Structure 1
Amino acid sequence: MTHPITVQTMVAAPIEHVWKVYTSPEDIRQWNAASEDWHTTAADVDLRVGGTFSSRMEAKDGSMGFDFAGTYTAIKQHALIEYTFGDRAARVEFVPVGDAVQVTVSFDPDGEYSIEQQQQGWQAILDSFARYAEKTRNGR
């Protein structure tokens, strides 16, 4: 078994806002992309243990797309989200640090892409999340 891959960011915003932006379908559609030429066209979240989530990620030129979906296995409001997707699992931790929140995502790697590619892709999405959360922290 391979070790999980971990990505991390600091978000200069209150924990309540960081949590909301991470878990709200309306917000997810705004930040959930690894690069400018991709976007999330749909997102659904049933934030409870046993609840499911899904997001549709597509290239803006329409050339390709995929669904990212899974089931929540643990939820601790403002602290932890764990979920499974396919035969893999992920853990998202939210830790307040002063006036910011450290968000750490650990996930099981797939067998298709290199560890570096997966880490870069997930980090890019997390960086996009942090930028959006900071930009919207004082309301819309």
Structure 2
Amino acid sequence: MAKKDKNLSFDFEGIYTKIENLSLIEYKLLDNRIGKVSFEKNENEVIITETFEPVIEDSESMQKEWCQTVIDNFKKYVEAF
């Protein structure tokens, strides 16, 4: 994964451990951290919640900001269709 301006990037590789159609994706990264993304329908919108084990090397707030940016960009992409 990389920012558009390429000033920050990291490898994000793992396996999906559980998938529930239209509601949940769970995964395990190569460094054994786990995470999940849930999708909850609420009237005319979908609420996306991601939880994950942060890496020790980076601040938790930086990692949260990164994930929020990814979700915000995904939202813009989906709303364009």
| Shorter-normalised TM range | 0.7 to 0.9
1:75 maps to which residue?
19
Q: When the two structures are superposed, what TM-score results if normalisation uses the length of structure 2?
A: 0.87
Higher strand share: 1
Aligned residue type for 2:65: Q
Displacement of 1:79: 0.5
Displacement of 1:88: 0.4
Measure, in 2, the Cα distance between the counterparts of 1:118 and 1:75. Answer: 23
In structure 2, which of residues 71, 74, 80 is the aligned counterpart of residue 129 of structure 1? Answer: 74
Identity of aligned residues (%): 35
Q: CA RMSD in A?
A: 1.9
**SS of alignment partner, residue 111 of structure 1:** coil
Measure, in 1, the Cα distance between the counterparts of 2:61 and 2:33. Answer: 18
Aligned residues: 80
Deviations along 1:62-115, whole A, 9 cap, x unmatched? x77543111011110001000011220111000011111001000101100111
1:95 maps to which residue?
40
Q: Which has the bigger relative contact order, CA under 8 A and spacing at least 6?
A: 1
Higher gyration radius (CA): 1
Aligned residue type for 1:68: F
Matches within 5 A, 1:2-17: none
Unaligned runs of 5+ in 1: 1-31, 38-58
Q: When the two structures are superposed, what TM-score results if normalisation uses the length of structure 1?
A: 0.52
1:111 maps to which residue?
56
Measure, in 1, the Cα distance between the counterparts of 2:47 and 2:8. Answer: 32
